[in-house]
Each structure stands twice: as C-alpha cells, then as structure tokens.
Structure 1
Amino acid sequence: MAELGQLVDAIEERSDALNSLGYRVRFDLTDGGSILVDATGGKVDVSTVEGGEADTVMKLSSDNLLKLVQGKLNPMIAFSTGRLKVQGSQGVAMKLAGLLDG
C-alpha cells in the first residue's frame, strides 16, 4: 500500500503535465484516504482531503494510483478491468488520462 505522502509527491512531480487540466479531480483510495488535485486557476494544488468538491471522482487503490501517475498502468486498461472507477465527468477523466499517459 502506497502512503498518501508518497502519492502526493508523485502527483506533484507530474504537475507540469497536469497544469492544462483545468478541473478538480479527487482520487478516493479504496484502501483509505483521498487526494484532491485542483488544476484550476493556472496552477496545480495537490492536497489530502476527505470529500473535497471535485468535477470528477476516481476510485482506485493507492498502489494503482501510484502506478497510474508513474506511467506503469494505462488508465484505459485500469478502467476497463475495473481497477479504476469514475464518478462525474467522463470527459475530465479522459483528459486526465491523456495527460498522465503523455
């Protein structure tokens, strides 16, 4: 199980890629905790919050989130195999997947 701090650091390392997202995405981790990525206002703010307001919520394990951010897990494969569940805007999820995949 990846630690929240490790996940926040990994996401912040990708903040240049996520800068153009323009939305709030919350990752609800199935093994505990939530991470909010706020890419509105021209900068990326990553924080650990419970239930923060978001355009899209993605549910997955902390290990799968780490693999996703590191480019070791394809977002489309994760979604199609049930390792990643999306609530809210599918378009935002697709845009995020494209930015992480790049």
Structure 2
Amino acid sequence: MSETVNQAVAALNEKMDGQGFDGTAKFVIEGEGSFIIDGSGARAGDEDADVTLTADTDTFQQIFEGDLNPTSAFMSGKLTIDGDMGAAMKLAGVLA
C-alpha cells in the first residue's frame, strides 16, 4: 500500500475514535490504492464492500480535513459512488 493510503487509514481511525461503521465502505484513491471502513474501523484492503467511493488524493484529503463536503464532491463529479447510496449517506456522518 502507498503512504497516502496508510496516512488516510491512520487519520480516519483517529477521527472515528474507536467507532466502527455499520456496513462496509471501500475508498479507492486513484493511483494510490484502497482501504476499507467497517465495524472494526479503517484498514488497508481491496475486498468487496457495500459501497465504493473513488476519487483522487486531493479530493479525499479535502473531504477528510472537512474542507469539502462529500455530497458536494459527488455532485460536482469529483467523487464517484458505486453501490449502496444509503451506506454512502451514512458515511457523511462518519467523515464529518
């Protein structure tokens, strides 16, 4: 896994503060790799998930830092979502 993925996993685990996510979500960082969020928290991985979110490094960084709303990123085409939209909406609360 890339350093970018490792940093994202560490940042999300800190942000989630031991709380998991009800379901599975895969984040694909274009050109870097992917990671999973589930009931155990965030970890590097590429297995199937309920929802897959794909974006470039800059877009995910802005979302994780609170500078870009995930819904706005999706509506502007910076973030693509494949799978369960309900799970994607729940993620907004985790990422906020």
TM-score category (smaller protein): 0.7 to 0.9
Post-superposition shift, 1:80?
A: 0.4
C-alpha RMSD over aligned residues? 1.8
Who is 2:85 aligned against? 90
8 A contact 2:50–2:87 mirrored in 1: yes
1:56 to 51, 58, 64: 51
Provide the identity percentage. 31
Give the secondary-structure state (helix, strand or coil) at the position aligned to 1:3: helix
Structure number with the bigger relative contact order (C-alpha 8 A, sep ≥ 6) is 1
Deviation of 1:98 after TM superposition, in Å, equals 2.6
For 2:49 and 2:31, locate their aligned partners in 1 and report how far apart those are by CA, in whole Å: 20
After TM superposition, the runs of 4+ consecutive aligned structure 1 residues lying more than 3 A away are none
Say whether 1:47 aligns with 2:48: no
Q: Secondary structure of the residue that 2:61 maps to in structure 1?
A: helix
Task: Give per-residue Cα distances to partners, 1:36-83, cap 9 Å, x unaligned.
Answer: 1112xxx42x22123x12111001112211221121111111000011
TM-score (norm 1): 0.80
Task: Give the aligned residue type for 2:43.
Answer: S
3-state DSSP of counterpart to 1:14: helix
Taking structure 2 as the reference length, the TM-score comes to: 0.85
Size of the aligned set, in residue pairs, is 94
Unaligned ranges ≥5, structure 2: none
Aligned residue in 1 for 2:70: 75
Q: What's the counterpart of residue 33 of structure 1?
A: 33
